[in-house]
Amino acid sequence: MLESRHPQELPIQQGVAPDASLYDWRWMVRSALNGLWLILAGGLLCGAIAVAYVALRPSQYTASAVLNITNLRLTTSGEDAFFTESQFDPTFLETQIETIGSTPVLSNVMQTLKLGGPDASDHQGALKALRGGLAIHRLGQSNLVEIRYTSGTPQNAATVANEVARAYMAKQESDRAEAVQSASGWLRDRLREAGPKAQVMSAATPPVEKSNPRGLIIIALAGIVGAAAGFVVALLLAFLDRSFRRPDRLASVAGVECFGVIPNLVRDRASSNSAALHLSEISRRPGTPEWQTLRLAAVSILPLTGSPHVRSLGVTSALPGEGKTLLAANLALHAVQMGKRALLVDAQSYRPELSKAMEHANRRGLLDYLEGREGDLKALIVKDTKTGLDILPYGQAGKTPAMLWAGQMEQVLSQLAAYDLVVFDLPPLDAAGDLRASARFIDSFVLVVEAGRVSDEALSAALSAAPPVWEKLVGTILNRCDPERVFKWLPAFGR
């Protein structure tokens, strides 16, 4: 017997929170594979931008001059005076480096090389540009200071670097000369040699190779950054995606077993253009994952055949167009393959797609019997020659469906007692009134959910609107989903 669930005990939740255990390394890998196009697109886009930048960027050349800077002091011993190098002072070279890049030194460079214009704004712009290409730093722990300048031409780079070194040494000589003006003749001659002294260890020469970062490195790094950004976007989209893509997730929200997944079946127009044959496609593929899904659903329902609580089965979906008609037809066909007598009933009041697919759209059927235009129900049942399945069409299109789930449905079911299973193709859950009414007569329901289309909040809200359907729900099927991708990352899930 089926276990009856009271509506108050159903897992009716608005906005079911995702299970934190789902967000593990498998989820990250699966999300990356699903969003592989984002990763590739990000890498290719950033790589293309980097290629354009490398091709269009201006050439740059860097030349360097090296100065040996010492700090000499005058030392006396008795009547003798001699020069000695002062003890190491960590601030001395830092002071000299700042002096080299100071405005007075660079202004002299600009004046000598005739950089900038007469206006103050032009002068400030040229000074800023000069500082932008200049780099001054100490070489290791030595007294050597390197002056590097980067320019668009090799000759200009060397010229500016050498001129900065010359201007700095000229400033040191000028400052020392001013300091000794008031000293005596003997002391003045000696003080001229004291203080900071700079010697050019190597003058700057025009460089042969460009100093731009290598293009291949830039392109590779840009591709990596773009791919990483695409990976982050893929994870973010996967985190925000509340739709169903795994059977265990669907089972946890619906509160019932998920029988399995069905791939996105595309009709083979080369072999047949018959919609009826398309509706029997799964049943004609024994042993495939989709066939196994139907078999699991069938054996979960059919062993209870004979009990008044399992004889009728309704197939519905969360939204229109999720493929429930195909699955309803194949469930009935699978029951026939198991040696059972099965009837497929088109009870889709608003869009009788089953009757249209079986080419019975203009044929009288169930609605005509309920409204009294036909007196013999069994005469309305059609055996489809292409599938061998008994089908009860919906009836004349355009008629009101108000009587479909009225009291006369009990009489209909009593006349179909010879069948082991009656499968109803029902409207989706958005027709909550029809589904509530059908639950009075249908003993169990199977819910079809299209992968990637319905969110957990939407499904919970739809089931909450029809508690009698949720109470009789025996299982779900995840439709239009890639089984290989699902089971690859769910090794514990039954195949």
Q: What is the pLDDT of residues 465-480, one digit of tens each?
A: 899 999 999 999 998 8
User: 316 with 438: CB under 8 angstroms?
Assistant: no
Question: Residue 249 to residues 14, 34, 120, 461: CA-CA distances in angstroms?
Answer: 15, 17, 70, 16
User: 448 with 421: CB under 8 angstroms?
Assistant: no
The reply to whether 192 and 295 lie within a common domain is no
> Which of residues 152, 174, 202 is at a domain's end?
202
CB-based contacts of 395: which residues, under 8 Å, 6+ apart? 363, 364, 365, 366, 367, 368, 369
The reply to whether 414 and 480 lie within a common domain is yes
Token readout for 14 is 């608005």
Q: Which residues pair with 138 in a beta bridge?
A: 145
How far apart are the two ends of the chain, measured CA to CA in Å?
26
The reply to whether 94 and 171 lie within a common domain is yes
User: 139 with 45: CB under 8 angstroms?
Assistant: no
Per-residue confidence (pLDDT) for residue 493, from 0 to 100 = 39
pLDDT confidence of 25, banded at 50, 70, 90? confident
Measured in whole angstroms, the distance separating CA 294 from the mean position of its chain's CA atoms is: 32
User: 154 with 206: CB under 8 angstroms?
Assistant: yes
Angle between helices 324-337 and 289-301 (to 10 degrees): 70
The reply to whether 171 and 313 lie within a common domain is no
CATH number for the domain harbouring residue 411? 3.40.50.300
Measured CA to CA, the distance from residue 185 to residue 187 in angstroms comes to 6
pTM: 0.61
In a domain, 223, yes or no: no
Share above pLDDT 90 across residues of the chain, in percent, rounded to a whole number: 32
In a domain, 42, yes or no: no
CATH number for the domain harbouring residue 108? 3.30.70.1130
> Which of residues 169, 202, 235 is at a domain's end?
202
Higher per-residue pLDDT: 179 or 17: 179
Of 66, 202, 69, 203, nearest to 135 by C-alpha is 66
In the block, residue with structure tokens 């082991």 = 420
The reply to whether 166 and 278 lie within a common domain is no
Per-residue confidence (pLDDT) for residue 197, from 0 to 100 = 82
The reply to whether 323 and 373 lie within a common domain is yes
As for how many domains the chain has, the answer is: 2
SS3 label, residue 238: helix
Per-residue confidence (pLDDT) for residue 187, from 0 to 100 = 54
Of 132, 133, 113, 110, nearest to 122 by C-alpha is 110
In a domain, 230, yes or no: no
In a domain, 158, yes or no: yes
pLDDT at 392 over 80: yes
The reply to whether 448 and 305 lie within a common domain is yes
The reply to whether 83 and 134 lie within a common domain is yes
pLDDT at 185 over 60: no
Per-residue confidence (pLDDT) for residue 193, from 0 to 100 = 57
Per-residue confidence (pLDDT) for residue 338, from 0 to 100 = 83
In a domain, 208, yes or no: no
> Which of residues 141, 175, 202 is at a domain's end?
202
In a domain, 30, yes or no: no
In a domain, 211, yes or no: no
**Mean pLDDT lowest among 283-287, 292-296, 341-345, 452-456:** 283-287
The reply to whether 308 and 400 lie within a common domain is yes
What mean pLDDT is predicted for residues 311-328? 90
The reply to whether 416 and 308 lie within a common domain is yes
pLDDT at 18 over 80: no
The reply to whether 198 and 251 lie within a common domain is no
Per-residue confidence (pLDDT) for residue 361, from 0 to 100 = 67
pLDDT at 3 over 50: no
Expressed as residue numbers, the domain containing 324 is 7-16+243-488
pLDDT confidence of 491, banded at 50, 70, 90? very low
In a domain, 474, yes or no: yes
State the CB neighbour count (10 A cutoff) for residue 423. 28
The reply to whether 185 and 247 lie within a common domain is no
Q: Determine what percent of the chain falls in helix, strand and coil, rounding each to the nearest 5.
A: 45, 20, 35
Q: DSSP strand E in 189-228: where?
A: 195-202
